[in-house]
Amino acid sequence: MKVVIIGGGWAGCAAAIQAKKSGADVLILERTDLLLGLGNVGGIMRNNGRFTAAEEMIALGAGDIFNITDRCARHKNIDFPGHKHAWLYDVTIIEPNVRRYIYDMGIDVFFEARAVDVSMDGKAIKGIYLHDGTLIEGDVFIETTGSTGPMGNCIKYGKGCSMCILRCPSYGPRVSISRRAGVEDLMGMREDGSYGAMSGSCKLNKDSLSKEIRDALNEKGVYVAQVPPEDVNLDKLKMKVCQQYALKEFAEQIVLLDTGHAKLMTSYYPLDKLRKIKGFENAKFEDPYSGGKANSIRYLSMAPRDNSMKVKGIDNLFCAGEKSGLFVGHTEAIVTGTLAGYNAVRTSIGLDPVELPVSLAVGDIIRYENSMKDTQEGIRKRYTFAGAGYFERMKELGLYTTDVAEIRERVERLRMEDFFRQRLI
Amino acid sequence: MLRYIDCIDAGTDFCPCTLAERKECIICPQLQDRNVCDCLNWKGTCMCQEFICNGLKSKKSREFKKFDIVETVKLREDLFQLDIKVTKGLARELNNIGSYVFLKREGDIEAYSTPSSIMNSDTVNNIISIVIRIVGPKTKALKEVEDKILVKGPYWNGIQGQRFLKELKNKSCLILARGVSAAPAVLAAKKVMENGNQVYVLLDRGRSTENFTKQKFKDLGCKVEDVSFFDRSGNISGENAAIIEHLLKKWGFKVVLSAGSDWFHRKMISFIRGLDKSINFSTVNNSIMCCGEGVCGSCEIINIRGERIRSCKQQYDPSEVFLKEMDN
Ligand SMILES: Cc1cc2nc3c(=O)[nH]c(=O)nc-3n(C[C@H](O)[C@H](O)[C@H](O)COP(=O)(O)OP(=O)(O)OC[C@H]3O[C@@H](n4cnc5c(N)ncnc54)[C@H](O)[C@@H]3O)c2cc1C
Ligand SMILES: Cc1cc2nc3c(=O)[nH]c(=O)nc-3n(C[C@H](O)[C@H](O)[C@H](O)COP(=O)(O)OP(=O)(O)OC[C@H]3O[C@@H](n4cnc5c(N)ncnc54)[C@H](O)[C@@H]3O)c2cc1C
Ligand code: FES
């Protein structure tokens, strides 16, 4: 039984690991030369409700990736405006660590293998065509191509290609596999009703910052500087993907986090303005390369799905991560990816797919996002355990806790401890 | 098979073209009337980005320019070769598989534009060679030119299924040629051989004792054989069928370039497909062309899926056009 995963970001890696644990042969197709996709430029884990979600997944027996991100953490339990107990993994070492883990499990990965089309048999996918015409056949498919770009979207809905980690000019554009299979994509909106959203953070080269800033980052993980009043731009917040960081504090202050590079919590920042700030005189962008001008555009390519992560209208296609909804974050991609990987294997051996219980945050967010996406209001929102509206909901429903024993108990009460460890085949 | 969609101009100096301004781009759905990024064939640049950065305007189109004729050689009563001195840039751009230009005599009206294949582009002396067969008003007008001629180019879609020829490395290729269509096959042979491939040419004698390209293929180092492909009833003669079958077995060709009329393509492709299904085909493009820019529609053909293809700009897989029914 062969599971083919299209896109090797966090969602694809999580789906691959879970499908393998459930007993399938697994192949990941990744268009670039790196796994993790946007995970190569993120780093923030366990902030706010993400802590609960991570511990729920560990208790459910799907802690593989969280163990790696924890092990690769540069800073643990740090606070920054609006956010508590964040862990920051080191983006300069995370990818090879995950890659080794994936290889050690016996998962196959084809790099520089861009999926461009599908071969169909009625409503089922028979195989995936790569850019060079090779047909990759499989029994069940999981689309985790994310929602970023490609260049036409970044110029049409943003400020042009900013040369982000996905490197479209080098590796070719993202492709919506579900659309190729005949299912129209859903498109996220901004507050003003225009489509898409701009990524909300960029990265500066740490060595280009002053010694004072470098020392603070290395020691505490956080550094906050004031934006000169004439440069405060509140409008930029509305464009942002990351509504959990779209706070006034992030417009009036420069918040830096140490993820190996200095993560700057704003979409983009004109270089000449940035260099006026003390300690930033020599600042240089690391990601996106054109972070002085723009950032990537996301959420223009979501597949309609059910709560088991199956794509509606196609018999054997599942989806996860940003492809599956207005989810923001590594944790969110890992949660949805794990469920997609598990259910892909279940359905391929004739079992019904399962949903995660809504008494856990990881089950609730999948169901909640899906119901909200249908509304005019909901399509303008993003869904993350870390903030925006969803973290409030977690608190209201009593889902949010940092008490690990309590989380384990909740999972045990559902008789779901180590649920994801069972082999299905 | 993977859907084969390609615009020969995509990603070149001429992209985005005027079709983008009218939301008729062949490749980019953003530049059609669908607001999504969904291009099937990425060629390294984003025409949507180029279009927007160019102020929502297309790049400049090709125009006729005047060049000197360095030599005119009469090959037969109805056949002559023109050697034209062009710029270094144009010679270089025309040194590609499938290159062609529009030719026109100075003073003639636009309707006399004649698509003409490049047989050779000498990029040292910047001389392009073209062989013309006189058939009607346009080609008769070209016969009248003396020392100057108008040339519009470069165009590249003179051979369909180019991908198969370009991707061929250290293998072998069979060329089946007849008549004036053999001219573009000479340049194709040169380019294919640059990739370490061997080229075998079966040249139809036609009405002459040998095709005018024979020596040119030989000079390139191709193996060349003179044949008369068809018997009186227009079928591939038993003797030639046996030769082709033998060559296919012996050489294991991956690609066959058919350089003749559309009737010739049909005969050859269906015969060879019957022997070996794995062979890919390239064909000399015989469509009627007026603008070469995907605008006028005179070159439109329909493939087996019923898709309309403007063959001056768009590439197709010849087996999807010249085989009535696909059996694969
Ligand atoms: C600058 C930035 C910083 C961020 N920081 C954080 C953070 O600190 N913490 C956090 O939790 N979240 C962060 N996020 C959000 C988070 O990274 C994403 O929501 C999450 O990683 C998305 O994962 P994904 O697997 O769904 O998609 P992606 O990471 O986009 O992965 C998709 C993968 O599919 C591949 N692909 C696409 N098309 C094809 C194709 N046709 N064939 C083969 N492969 C294909 C891509 O190359 C890519 O590797 C950040 C995002 C950005 C842009
Ligand atoms: C890409 C391409 C490359 C070509 N290369 C050569 C070449 O190297 N040498 C050569 O002798 N001929 C070549 N031709 C064919 C040549 O263009 C025609 O023979 C010429 O246009 C005939 O014009 P006419 O007025 O002399 O004859 P007409 O009496 O108008 O036509 C005679 C026949 O030529 C064809 N034809 C007419 N107009 C066109 C046109 N605009 N485009 C294509 N075919 C037409 C028709 O089949 C017609 O039945 C090429 C055609 C194309 C499309
Ligand atoms: S020749 Fe005008 S559209 Fe092709």
ipTM value of the model? Answer: 0.84
- Indicate whether B230 and B173 sit together in one domain: yes
Q: Is residue A292 part of a domain?
A: no
Residue of B nearest to A129 (CA): B2
Q: Are residues B176 and B319 in the same domain?
A: yes
Nearest Cβ partner of B38 from A156, A161, A176? A176
Chain B positions touching A182 (Cβ under 8 A) are none
| A22 shares its domain with A150 | yes
Same domain, yes or no, for B51 and B82? Answer: no
Is the same domain home to B112 and B184?
no
- Ligand lying nearest the CA atom of residue B259: 2
Q: Are residues A187 and A207 in the same domain?
A: no
CB within 8 Å: A129 and B49: no
Q: Looking at the partner chain, which of B2, B35, B36 has a beta carbon nearest the beta carbon of A117?
A: B2
Same-domain pairing of B17 and B111: no
The closest CB to that of A161, out of B3, B35, B49, belongs to B49
Residues above pLDDT 70, as percent of chain B: 98
The verdict on a CB contact (< 8 Å) between B3 and A133 is no
Question: Where is the domain boundary, B35, B61, B87?
Answer: B61
Q: Whose alpha carbon is nearest atom 35 of ligand 1?
A: A7
Question: What is the count of structural domains for chain A?
Answer: 2
Domain stop point among A253, A287, A321: A287
Q: Per CB distance under 8 Å, which residues of A are interface residues toward B?
A: 114, 116-117, 129, 131, 133, 135, 149-156, 160-161, 168-169, 172-176, 179, 185, 195, 300-301
A46 plus A144 within the same structural domain: yes
Q: Which residues of A touch B32 (CB under 8 A)?
A: none
Same domain, A255 and A325: no
pLDDT value at B327 more than 70 = no
Q: A231 pLDDT band (50/70/90 cuts)?
A: confident
Given a cut of 50, is residue B328 above it in pLDDT? no
Share of chain B above pLDDT 90, in %: 89
Q: Are residues B172 and B296 in the same domain?
A: yes
Q: Is the model more confident about B34 or about B279?
A: B279
pLDDT score recorded for residue B324: 67
Q: What is the spatial distance between Cα B39 and Cα B30, in angstroms, rounded to a whole number?
A: 9
Q: Would A242 be classed as within a structural domain?
A: yes
Q: In the listed set B155, B189, B204, which residue is the last one of a domain according to the structure? A: B155
Q: Which domain holds residue A73?
A: 2-191+297-421
Residue A176 inside a domain? The answer is: yes
Tell which of A248, A263, A287 closes a domain. Answer: A287
Tell me which residue range forms the domain holding B253: 159-327
* Nearest atom within ligand 1 for CA of residue A13: 25
Minimal Cα distance from A118: which residue of B? B2
| pLDDT for residue A229 | 86
In a domain, A412, yes or no: yes
Task: Mark whether A62 and A110 lie in a shared domain.
Answer: yes
Distance A349 CA to ligand 3 centre (A): 53
What is the SS3 assignment for chain B? CCCCCEECCCCCCCCCCHHHHCCCCCCCHHHCCCCCCCCCCCCCCCHHHHHHHCCCCCCCCCCCEEEEEEEEEEEECCEEEEEEECCHHHHHHCCCCCCEEEEECCCCCHHHCEEEECCEEECCCCEEEEEEECCCHHHHHHHHCCCEEEEEEEECCCEECHHHHHCCCCCEEEEEECHHHHHHHHHHHHHHHHCCCEEEEEEECCCCCCCCCHHHHHHHCCEEEEECCECCCCCECHHHHHHHHHHHHHHCCCEEEEECCHHHHHHHHHHHHHHCCCCEEEEECCCCCCCCCCCCCCCEEECCCCCEEECCCEECCCHHHHCCCCCC
> In this structure, are B19 and B85 located in the same domain?
no
Q: How many domains is chain B partitioned into structurally?
A: 3
State yes or no: pLDDT of A420 exceeds 50: yes
Report whether residue B99 contacts ligand 2, using a CB cutoff of 6 Å: no
Asked whether residue A234 carries a pLDDT value surpassing 90, the answer given is: no
Instruction: State mean pLDDT over A339-343.
Output: 98
pLDDT in tens, A16-49: 999 999 999 999 999 999 999 999 999 999 999 9
B299 pLDDT higher than 70: yes
Atom of ligand 3 nearest to the CA of B295: 3
Least confident piece of the model among A172-186, A247-261, A331-345, B298-312: A247-261
Q: 0.90 exceeded by the pTM?
A: yes
Tell whether A112 and A242 lie within a shared domain: no
Domain C-terminal end among A239, A264, A287: A287
**Domain identity same for B164 and B313:** yes
The CATH number of the domain holding residue A34 is 3.50.50.60
